Amino acid sequence: MGLLDAYTKPLTADQVAHLLRRATFGPTADQVKLLIGQTAAQLMTKLLADQPVPPPPLNLATGKPFHDQPFETTNAGKFTAYLTYWWANLMLNQPISLLEKMTLFWSNHFVTNFSTVNDYRFMYRYNALLRQYALGNFKSFAVAMTQDPAMLRFLNGNQNIVGRANENYARELMELFTIGRNGGYTETDVREAARVLTGWTDVSYRSATTTPIGSTFRLNQHDKTDKTFSATYQNTVIKGRSTVTAGLDELNDLINMLLSHAETPRYICRQLYRWFINSDITPTVETDFIQPLAEVFRKANFEIKPVLTALFQSQHFYDEAIRGGMIKSPTELVIGTFRFWGVQAPDPAQNITPFYQIGNYIFARITEQQQQILNPPTVFGWTAYYQTGYYQQWINSTTLGLRGFFGDALTTNALKLNGKVVIDSVAYARTLSNPADAGVLVANITSQLLGVPLDKSQLDFLTDTVLLNSIPRYEWTGEWNDYIQSPNDAAKKQAVQMKLTAFLQYIFRMAEYQVI
């Protein structure tokens, strides 16, 4: 049985939860119940369904979009913040869809950041481009990204002119965006690619008077001579052009050349594997998963959906051994936690202030945990996705405590967002199958909140020591039933609520809660 062979059995609750934790920012309990018994193929149809283009972010003061207006220096920081809050809320409010998780993936692949670009309109356009192509065609994506004004600014493509070629983007196009470091390209290849890309520049950067923003090709600053590449690219010659379409024609030739190399589809598939399955690519995984997946990619003419379909329907993805093998990123931790507890951002057109309050809280938490969206620290992306140890980089002496404080805020500090408590532990317990039985209660909660199963000794410890603080289990049954019989009795409610709150606080600090 091959690792990439399709898993065709109906999915259990644990398997549905596993799929949604990896493919989205996490499920609600109701979503898992709704999807039990469906096959991976059926769920992939839902996850890959087309989604409407989201309305753009709004100015809190006016309730109107700002991305299509002249640049406002005095409001630049504020509008950049609104943009990040808006995206955080798109992740929070996502339907059962891969779109926002893939948009985040591509923001770590085709990297720019607002610290360098420094124009919120460019960054909105860049984010919209990521979303537009996130589940589309990679070849078209690479062509469009090369012309993107934020990318032209970030990697100096706007300074790349004939006679003084800037190699920055050409190098990253090979090293990080297509063939990868092990692709065998040469310094000559980088120089020749830079010559191909001469002449592009951004339009209306930080302009207080002109719109729209975008990019343009300047023929008079383009190198019109032929460009010759190494044996890595089969000594390809990209014909120099001198017409108004020269820039796009040569760009298409360059992307076609890069994608024709056998290493490019393998490199992209390895990136997807590390993002969705595991950082450890063993020789077996490389041979029996990455290489056949890359062949799916190539045969599909670099359409992204067939690759994701094969990945998430594979036997390998549903191997129980890979569960818990990934440390949650800050977005997965914070947004996934909020999604489980039913937090949703309101419609900004109707309730813009609370919309931004929720987005601001999410953005603050994931930023302090070192994943500031729209602002990866380097062209390599966030540290946890390229340094030795991979996901382990999300946990350090600073972020471990902040993760714990986040969980504490949800429980002991009774965090309220827009006046509403995030977690009502008693109301949640009432949704479970048999909350009067402490052992069943703990088993239910841990199966919903944790991505890995616990053994009997762990469950017993959580029941008898953490939840009950060493009182007999029958006393919990009595306390719970007393509360159910008199739900308006504050003392009886508090008796169960204090235990549940302490229990959830402990769960949020467990190592098992930090992984998926």
**Count, residues in the chain:** 516
Query: Which residue, 335, 343, 367, 364, is CA-closest to 417?
Result: 343
pLDDT for res 307: 98
pLDDT for res 78: 98
Backbone angles phi, psi at 398, to 5 degrees: -85, -50
pLDDT for res 420: 80
Cis peptide before 283 (omega within 30 of 0): no
Instruction: State the CB neighbour count (10 A cutoff) for residue 252.
Output: 16
Look up the pTM and report it: 0.96
Residue with the two structure tokens 């360059």 = 254
pLDDT for res 388: 63
Query: What is the residue type of 220?
Result: N
Tell me the Cα Rg of the chain.
Answer: 25
CA atoms within 13 A on the CB side of 290: 25
Cβ-proximal residues to 29 (8 Å cutoff; 6+ apart), any chain: 340, 431, 448
Q: For residue 31, how far is the Cα from the chain centroid?
A: 20
pLDDT for res 511: 95
pLDDT for res 1: 54
Contact by Cβ (8 Å): 307, 297:
yes
Q: Measured between alpha carbons, how far is 191 from 491 in angstroms, rounded to an integer?
A: 75
Residue with the two structure tokens 């999915």 = 11
Q: Burial letters for 437-471: b for 16+ Cβ neighbours within 10 Å, e otherwise?
A: bbbebbbbbbbbbbbbebeeeebeebbbebbbeee
Angle at 451 between CA 367 and CA 51, to 5 degrees: 65
pLDDT per residue, tens digit, the chain (516 aa), is 589 999 999 999 999 999 999 999 999 889 999 999 999 999 999 999 999 999 999 999 999 999 999 999 999 999 999 999 999 999 999 999 999 999 999 999 999 999 999 999 999 999 999 999 999 999 999 999 999 999 999 999 999 999 999 999 999 999 999 999 989 999 999 999 999 999 999 999 999 998 899 999 999 999 999 999 999 999 999 999 999 999 999 999 999 999 999 999 999 999 999 999 999 999 999 999 999 999 999 999 999 999 999 999 999 999 999 999 999 999 999 999 999 999 999 999 999 999 999 999 999 999 999 999 999 999 999 998 887 667 888 999 999 999 999 999 998 866 788 778 889 999 999 999 999 999 999 999 999 999 999 999 999 999 999 999 999 999 999 999 999 999 999 999 999 999 999 999 999 999 999 999
Backbone angles phi, psi at 241, to 5 degrees: -120, 160
CA dist 38 → 15, 34, 42, 447 (Å): 10, 9, 6, 19
